[in-house]
Amino acid sequence: MTARQRVGRMAGSRGAGLVVLWLVMLITFGLWIPAAFSLQVFTSVLQFSTILALVTLGQTLVILGGGGGIDLSVGGNVSLSGLVLGFLLVHGVGVWLALAACIFAGAVLGAVNGFLVARVGMMPLIVTLGTYFAYNGLALAVTGGAPISGIPQWFNWLGATTVFDVPVHVLLVLVPAIAVMVFILSETGFGRWVYAMGTNEAGARLVGVPVQRLRFSFYVISGVLCALAGIVSTSWLLSARPDVGTNLELESLAAALLGGVSIFGGYGSLGGAILGAYFLVALRTGLQFANVNSIWQVGLVGFFLILSVLLGRLAGRR
Amino acid sequence: MQEATVSDGRFGRVMVVVARREVILVLACAAASILFATLSPYFLLGSNLVGVARNSIELLIVSLGMAFILATAGIDISVGTGMGVAAVCIGYAVQAHWPLEAVAILGPIVGIVLGCLSAVSVVYGRVPPIIATLGLYGIYQAAIFLILRGQWISGLPGTLDPIVNGRILDVPVVLLVILALYLIGYVVLRWTALGTAVLAIGGNEDAARLSGIDVIRTKFFVYGMTGLLVGIAAVLYVGRYQNVETGVGGTLALNAIVAAILGGSTVTGGRANLVGTAVGVLLVQILQNGFVLIGLPSLWEQVVIGALLIVTLVVDALIMRVRAQAVAV
C-alpha cells in the first residue's frame, strides 16, 4: 500500500474521529462562550500552537518509523536548545551564529537518543525516559531554575509580531517546516522507507532499507524541530526559560495519536498530527477563555492521550 | 533482545549473571559510600545513614511493584502521582480523625483502584502501557492540584505514628513490612505459577497465552499489586511527613524504574531480580544523599539519575553483545 492510499484510508477512519472531536469542541465553546470566536482568539491559537506543532512533527516521524519509536525527551530538548540560544544572544553573539548553534544543540541532543536507539540497540522508551530526566534536569540545573533574560528587544519580531493577524513564526518557521516534512514523507523515497520500516521492519531491512541509519536520522530531525520550537519560544518570551518544554512530551504524543498516527508505527499522517496539535491548543485556549483552572489541561491532555488510542481500537486497527 | 529466562536452557547462565549483578551493585554502593565518606564528614554519621534508609522506604516498596510490571514487559509512569492521589485521600482521612485501622486500609484500597485503572486501560483498552500510564500520570497530577487547590495538607495529627515509629522486638515496624513484602514478592516470583506466568508474559506474550496462561488475570495482578504497594507507600509517606504537598511523588516513578533496571530488570520483560532491585534503590538513595552532602545543588539530582539510567542500559547492552559473541564462538 502506498503512503497516499494510507492517507486516504486514514481520512475514512481515524481522521473522522478527530473531525468529530473538533466539531464537538467548536459547538460546545460556541454555545458556552460565543465571544471566543474572534480574530483575536484565532491569532492567539496560532501563536500558542507553533511550539507544540513543531515538536509534534518530530514526534510523529519518530513514531511512524516503528520499532517502538517514541521521543519523551522533546520537552527537555526544547528547553535546553532555547537556553543555548538565549545564553549566546545575551552574551552578544551574532544572531545567525546563535541560531545555528541552537539548531546544532537540538540536533546533538536528538543524536544522543538516535545513537543509543539505533546503534546501541536500546528501547526508545527507556532511552528517551532517561534523556527526558537528563535534559529537563540539566536545563534546571545549569540555570538554577531561573530564566535567562535580557535578550535584545529586536529579537522579538520572530516570536511576537504578526502579519495580517498571522504570527510571523507561523509563516517563517512552522509552514516551511510542515511543507518540508510533508514533502519528504509523501514525495520522496525516504518517506516510503519510513512507512515501510514502520509497517514491517524485517521486510524493509531485507529489501535494503538502511533501517539503522534512518532511525538515527528520525531522532536527529526530531531534535532539530525541538530546537526550532526553542527558537520560537525564546523569541516570543524574550527569555529562555528552563521549564518551557514542560509537558510537551505528553502533548505531542497526544496530538500525534489524536491525529490518527498508530503508536506501533507505519500508519498515520503529519496532517492529522498537526490537526491534533491544533485541537489541543484550541481546547486549552477555549478553557482559558472560560476561566477554567489551567490545571485541568494536563488532566485533559492525559485523558485525550488514552482516548485517542481507544478511538483507534474502535476504528478497528491493530 | 528477548530474554525468556523461564523457558530455555539458558536459565542457569542467566542466574549466574543475576547473582553477579547484585554483587556489582553492592560494590557500587560501597564505592559510592567510600567516595562520599572521604568527601564529606557527615556521610557516615549514624543519623545520616538512618536518614538514607528512611528516605528509601517509599521507593523500596514501589520499586518492588515496578519490578513485577517490567517483568511483564509493561511499565507504569503513573505510580508517582498515583501515590500522590492516595496520599491526598489519606491526608483528608487523617484530618477527619479516622481511626488508625481505617486509614491504614484506605491507602491500599485507593492504590488498588488506581492500579486497576492502569490494568483496565492496558488490558481491555489494549493501550500500550507507556501511553496509558503517561495519560493517567497527567490525569492524577491534575486531580491532585484540583483536590488540594494548590494548598498543602499540613499539621496532621499523629494517627499513623504507631506504624511509622512503632517497633516490634526493637525492630522498626516499617522494616518488617518491607522485608515481608519483598519476601512475599520473592516467593510469588520464584516458587508459584503466578510468578512463572509474570516472567513468561514478558518473555513472549503470545507463547504464554497459547500455553494456557491467563494473561489478563496476570496483568491485573501486577498492576493491582503495584497499586496496593503504592497505597502502602502513601500511608507511610503521610505518616512520616504528616503533610501532603502538591508535588508529592514527582520523581518516584523514574526512580523506581531506574532502581529496577539497575537491579537487572529490562523494559523488554521476562526478567526480574528483587534483591537487585532493593540494592538498586539503596544505590539511588546513597547517590542522592551523597550529592547533597558534597554540595551539589539538588537540581542536579534528575540529571544524575537520568544519566545513571542511560549508563546502566549502555553497559547492559554492551555486556549482552560481548556475551552473544562469546556464545557464538
Q: What is the count of residue pairs from A and B with beta carbons less than 8 Å apart?
A: 136
Can you read off the three cell numbers belonging to residue B127? Answer: 493501550
Q: What is the pLDDT of residue A59?
A: 93
Residues B267, A134: C-beta atoms closer than 8 Å: no
By residue count, chain B amounts to 329
Please, what sign has the CA dihedral across residues A246, A249, A254, A260? positive
Measured in angstroms, the CA of B129 and the nearest CA of chain A are apart by 10
Q: What is the pLDDT of residue A145?
A: 77
Q: Which of A141, A295, A310 sits opposite B300 (nearest CB)?
A: A141
Round to whole Å and give the CA distance between B100 and B160. Answer: 6
Q: How many CB atoms lie within 10 A of CB B166?
A: 13
Model-level ipTM above the cut of 0.85: no
- Pick from B149, B267, B268, B308 the residue to mutate for testing the A interface (most A CBs within 10 Å): B267
Which positions in chain A touch B265 (Cβ < 8 Å)? none
Q: What is the pLDDT of residue B155?
A: 74
Residues B299, A134: C-beta atoms closer than 8 Å: no
By residue count, chain A amounts to 318
Which positions in chain A touch B264 (Cβ < 8 Å)? none
Q: What is the pLDDT of residue A318?
A: 43
Any CB–CB contact under 8 A between A116 and chain B? yes
Any CB–CB contact under 8 A between A299 and chain B? yes
- Pick from B114, B130, B265, B305 the residue to mutate for testing the A interface (most A CBs within 10 Å): B130
Q: What is the pLDDT of residue B12?
A: 60
- Mean per-residue pLDDT, B56-65: 91
When mean pLDDT is compared across A231-240, B104-113, B134-143, B310-319, the lowest value belongs to: B310-319
Per-residue pLDDT band for B55 (boundaries 50, 70, 90) equals: confident
* Residue B84 in this model has a pLDDT that exceeds 70: yes
Q: Which parts of chain A fold into alpha helices (H)?
A: 3-12, 14-32, 39-64, 74-90, 95-114, 124-143, 156-160, 168-169, 175-187, 189-199, 201-206, 211-237, 248-258, 270-289, 295-314
Segment holding A163, helix H or strand E: strand A162-163
Round to whole Å and give the CA distance between A169 and A173. Answer: 5
Residues A306, B1: C-beta atoms closer than 8 Å: no
CA angle B154, B157, B161 (to 5 degrees): 115
* Residue B2 in this model has a pLDDT that exceeds 60: no
Q: What is the pLDDT of residue B18?
A: 52
**Among A66, A74, A6, which Cα is nearest to A265's?**
A66
Any CB–CB contact under 8 A between B147 and chain A? no
* B216 or A21, which is more confident: B216
Any CB–CB contact under 8 A between A292 and chain B? no
Share of chain B above pLDDT 70, in %: 92
Per-residue pLDDT band for B67 (boundaries 50, 70, 90) equals: very high
Q: What is the pLDDT of residue B3?
A: 46
- Mean per-residue pLDDT, B37-46: 81
Beta strands, E only, chain B: 167-168, 171-172
Q: Which residues contact B249 (CB under 8 A, 6 or more apart)?
A: B79, B80, B81, B82, B83, B84, B87, B237
**Among A99, A76, A224, which Cα is nearest to A155's?**
A99
* Residue B1 in this model has a pLDDT that exceeds 80: no
Residue pair B68/B222 in contact (Cβ under 8 Å)? The answer is yes
* Residue B180: exposure state from Cβ atoms within 10 A (0-12, 13-18, ≥19): exposed
Place of cell 498571522: A166
Residue pair B64/B229 in contact (Cβ under 8 Å)? The answer is yes
Residues A141, B141: C-beta atoms closer than 8 Å: no
Q: Average pLDDT, whole number, for chain B? A: 83
What pLDDT, in 10s, does the model give residues B286-303? 888 888 888 777 778 778
Residues A133, B138: C-beta atoms closer than 8 Å: no
Q: Which residues contact A142 (CB under 8 A, 6 or more apart)?
A: A83, A242
**Among A139, A144, A60, which Cα is nearest to A106's?**
A139
Q: What is the pLDDT of residue B15?
A: 54
DSSP output for A2-69: -HHHHHHHHHHTHHHHHHHHHHHHHHHHHHH-GGG-SHHHHHHHHHHHHHHHHHHHHHHHHHHT-TT-
Residues A309, B303: C-beta atoms closer than 8 Å: no
When mean pLDDT is compared across A10-24, A99-113, B204-218, B251-265, the lowest value belongs to: A10-24
Per-residue pLDDT band for B102 (boundaries 50, 70, 90) equals: confident
Q: Which residues contact A189 (CB under 8 A, 6 or more apart)?
A: none
Pairing verdict, β B171-172 and B167-168: antiparallel
Residue pair A301/A254 in contact (Cβ under 8 Å)? The answer is yes
List per-block mean pLDDT (blocks of 10 residues) for chain A, which spans 318 residues. Answer: 51 63 79 74 82 92 87 91 89 86 93 89 85 87 82 79 78 86 87 87 85 90 93 87 84 85 83 88 81 75 81 62
Place of cell 472531536: A21
Please, what sign has the CA dihedral across residues A57, A63, A66, A69? positive
